[in-house]
Amino acid sequence: MKKIAVLLGGKSAEREISLKTGTAVANALIRLGYNVKSIDTGNSFIEKLKEFHPDLVFIALHGPFGEDGTMQGLLEILGYPYTGCGVLTSSLTMNKIYTKRLLNDAGIPTPKFIAVRENEYLSNSLQIQSMLLSEFNFPIVIKAPSQGSTIGIYFAKQEKDLHDMILDAFLFEKEILIEQFVEGREVTVAIMGNEEIEVLPIIEIVSHTGVYDFQAKYTKGLSDHIIPARLKENVSKKVIDLAEKTYTYLGCRGFARVDFIVEDDAKPYVLEINTIPGMTETSLFPDAAHSAGISFEELINRFVKYGFE
């Protein structure tokens, strides 16, 4: 019987979501017949991991210290195979600034953006605000680039919002992302596989709160997942092509989810890529798999298979 350690919890702002993801994954692995041990990485955990000595580690961590390449690097040093993307891909895609720079290099459309460092802003705030007002139209999106689950994201709808929201974002990180808001249909594409990849049906996300924020994501009834997305066939093909290109260009393996905004039901922009997407009861990836006839247990088993590969 193969032994699988599920790493969950952790130290990031997404700890509670990780506990839900990890619990769902662990329960599925138990039903599949694996010998499973759930290990919370919020405290001392390396000795517990060594004591269990798993054949594979399933990383069910979200955010820093789990999704950003640090845990992947530790597991490589310890010699344990693990699920999902490798060190470099995990670290690059965790930071939305570096992700968007790579997308630009690859010719993959993404909303216009500028990176702003805290020390530069504090010494030249009026000048930087003036530059932002000349470059962007309201609303302007302000993001802490390495957070997930819409944590550290602000929407400045008018000039008086800008300064305080920028300062709030700097509470999370020393360099932040300023991005042009693009109005459109929000869709996401779940992809899995290593050398050969499988693209799951496109999901359209409709939030009843008007914004797909933390509350809408994780509260039942506050958002709808429409499968397949209400896109024209040629636009759907464009979205899938861009998702595949993003997945392969950034070196993803195992599984990941590419998020888009589709402007005027015609022009898709890649917003970000999630290398350890949520696996809770309200999560997008399991919904996409279910619509393709793949049960949650089979989905998790495939992730295990890709990890062993």
Would you please indicate which residues are annotated as catalytic (active-site) residues?
Answer: 14, 149, 218, 257, 259, 272, 274, 278
| Sign of the dihedral through C-alpha 13, 16, 19, 22 | negative
DSSP for residue 82? B
Torsion of CA 263, 268, 270, 274, to 10 degrees: 100
C-beta separation of 202 from 169 below 8 A: no
Pairing of strands 56-59, 3-8: parallel
**Residue whose entry in the numeric block shows the structure tokens 């898709």:** 268
Contacts 24+ apart (CB under 8 A), 30-35: 31/297, 32/297, 32/300, 32/301, 33/1, 34/1, 34/2, 34/3, 34/4, 34/304, 35/1, 35/2, 35/3, 35/4
